[in-house]
Structure 1
Amino acid sequence: MRHSRKLTLAAVLLATASTATAGNTAAYGLQPAPGPRAAAIDPHLGPEVDVGAGETGIATVECPSGEVPTGGGGFNPALLSGHPFAITNSFPEGNVWVLTALNTSSSVQKLAAFVLCSSVAHTVVESAPGNLNPGTGGSATVTCPDGLVTSGGGVHSSGTEVEVSALHATPNTWSVRVANNSGAVQAASAVVICADIGTSGRTGESKVIAPHSTGVVLATCPQGQVPTGGGIFTDNPGAFISGLNSSGPSWFSGVNNLTDSPVTAAAQVICTAG
């Protein structure tokens, strides 16, 4: 896997950043999954690690030899719905998927990284890191090289308190939205995974997550297609992503709503022929 940096967008204050919604990907979602070839997708869940209350944990999972990530994430595999984490990093490093997440609960929680793998060559491009002042948020977008399409993506931050509130794709871009809840300047960047396979995006039904609660939203690939990666839209930067994983044709995204207001969320899945 090639890993390169592409100087695209630095992070900007959320007050002036454009916010993505599920409706922004309607055209992308209606497209079929054409392309020169399909990619056999191989899902893997890494070992569980214990994360103490208020602490940040790190979990990793490795693709088999000869395979590389097409997308990934992680979650608390001990819970059926809702995950009391705030993801701070989720990105590929070689054939390994790296996940870090802050445990926002008052008890020890399980954390595991998740990755989708393929033997088809993929290219990873990371945006230039954008600085975030304490108590501010920002967004960044990164674009695939010409001729390649988005199969998945993630986020790479410098701190343990840079929480992620949105991850989403277009046919050849990947965007992230983050908030710096630490007391120091932090940096964050968008990471896109690109390939010459045929992909298309689907956005699932919106779901309202009650204040100070967790929930899970999903998006499902059409019959005969499988996920290569996925993300999530939220309408409030105070609602953090707590889980990212797939099962069968569906992509699941966890939401941790730490605000005093209801939050609307929708998952996005990137699909290819199975």
Structure 2
Amino acid sequence: MQITFIGGGNMATAIIGGLVKQGGHQIHVVDPNADRRDALSALQGVTAGEAVPALSADEVVVLAVKPQQLKGVCEALSATLNGALVVSIAAGIRLEALSRWLGGHTRIVRVMPNTPAMVGKGVSGLFADTAVGEADRKAADAIMAATGVTLWLADEEGIDDITSVSGSGPAYVFYFMEGMINAACEVGFSEAEARRLVLATFEGAVALAQSTDTDIAQLRANVTSKGGTTERAIARFDAELVKAAIVQGARDCRARSIELGEQLSRD
């Protein structure tokens, strides 16, 4: 594929790194930052510049700038887009706004990635309306699959749904890790030892869950012997409504995603 990235920040760099590993792509990055351009153009099959090159309907354009910058980028791009497939990874911006800013262009796929994409373990939710054909869907999927797992969503509201689970989810996990590291330090482990223990514990728990079809609740129960140490900890979590707070936090996240989308998609 011939792919042009508008913006060369962390998420774009993660996707480009995955595509370079796949091989077989011609990638160009447009970014005003000279250091970013130099770093990305050092990768095999990647060129970089400050100006958007001539585009064609056979290409894919990935919009990877901050949401607040997207309207101006789209309006500048609309005259030279020439029918190219557009993939937007900008949070919040609705298809209707993207199409309007791109002069009525409808060949657009929205994507909600997450930060583990930077290590090839990302989750990306994708949505496109009926104006986007199967070949374009496959192209967008192949681009995001370079960074991990992909999931197509039934409607655009699904972008807000997946934001509340996997989009923002890494922060929830890091938050829990922070608490466990604090607990480890409190009982005498050094910061380095606590980090090592907690990261290994999370890695091991995920690997165990992935190795079996056993329900997650049952895996938790398997560690929770009646009258034992784990049961005491879980009882505290239940008393403090930790699980309910996680669910409500995800709901609040989704609500904020909807609010931001409405705000950012205005003229």
With normalisation by structure 2, the TM-score equals 0.24
Q: Which has the higher contact order (CA 8 A, sep 6+)?
A: 1
Q: Which structure dedicates a bigger proportion of its chain to strand?
A: 1
